[in-house]
Amino acid sequence: MVAAEMAVLLDSNVIIAMLNSRDKNHSRAGELLTKLKQPEYGMRITIDYVLDEVLTTLWNHTHRRSIVEKAYNLICSRPDFIKFSQVGFDVLDIAWETWMKFASWPEKPFSFTDCCIIAFMDKNDIEHLATYDSDFDGLVSIISNR
């Protein structure tokens, strides 16, 4: 169990937008993260699958090692900013079942990482997701400024 208090899981697109000045959501991500520092939102959390997406996407879009290193250090070494958690096999099993359900609806494609996010939130009683991804609409409570 990760969250006994209010918590918000950060999706990769929010972290990427914050770090990549060329991202269309760059200024909004800064505003959103400032909002999420308020006590009523509780702890900010992310998972290893999100870390992978952040690092891979930043490298593919910027080819700037310094930005990728900054992202890694921010996620893995700054518990004051974000709590980093690894997905266990119990969450992976739930994520796989979730992915199998969504795979039968090709008009609503979900990545396995997105399924890990949903499963991790469910398993750890995390109520809110900070994301710019509309695919999560109606599935989890979204905190966004899109």
pLDDT digits (tens, 9 = 90+) for 2-60: 545 789 999 999 999 999 999 999 999 999 999 999 998 999 999 999 999 999 999 99
Distance CA 94, CA 77 (A): 28
pLDDT of residue 60: 97
Q: For residue 141, give the 3-state DSSP assignment.
A: strand
Write the CB contacts of 93 (distance below 8 Å, at least 6 apart in sequence). Answer: none
Residue with tokens 């520092």: 37
Which tens digits make up the pLDDT trace of 90-110?
999 999 999 999 888 777 778
Sketch the domain layout of the chain as residue ranges.
7-143
**CATH annotation of 7-143:** 3.40.50.1010
DSSP state of 44: E
Which tens digits make up the pLDDT trace of 97-145?
999 998 887 777 789 999 999 999 999 999 999 999 998 999 999 998 8
Residue with tokens 């890694």: 72
